[in-house]
């Protein structure tokens, strides 16, 4: 489940960057982008640690 959340947040980040670069109409400001990208990193790390724990069992 954390991996799906990370993917969704990354898609939101990528869409915002794409809109900002093409038409200068991104919907997140700098702080919002930082928070979304930080959320992606945290969820991705949680997903990787859970998979490693499952692999050890």
Q: What are phi and psi of 30, to 5 degrees?
A: -60, -40
Per-residue model confidence as pLDDT tens digits over 21-53 = 999 888 999 899 999 999 999 999 999 999 999
Residue 57 has pLDDT above 90, yes or no: no
Q: What is the mean pLDDT of residues 53-57?
A: 92
- Chain centroid to CA 19: 17
Q: How confident is the model at residue 54 (pLDDT cuts 50, 70, 90)?
A: very high
Residue 1 has pLDDT above 90, yes or no: no
Q: Which of 37, 15, 36, 35 is nearest to 26 (CA)?
A: 15
Can you give the pTM of this predicted structure?
0.82
């Amino acid at each position: 489940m954390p991996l799906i959340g990370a993917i969704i947040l990354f898609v939101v980040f990528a869409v915002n960057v794409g809109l900002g670069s093409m038409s200068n109409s991104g919907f997140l400001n700098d702080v919002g982008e930082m928070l979304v990208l930080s959320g992606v990193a945290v969820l991705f790390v949680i997903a990787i640690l859970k998979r490693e724990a499952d692999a050890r069992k």
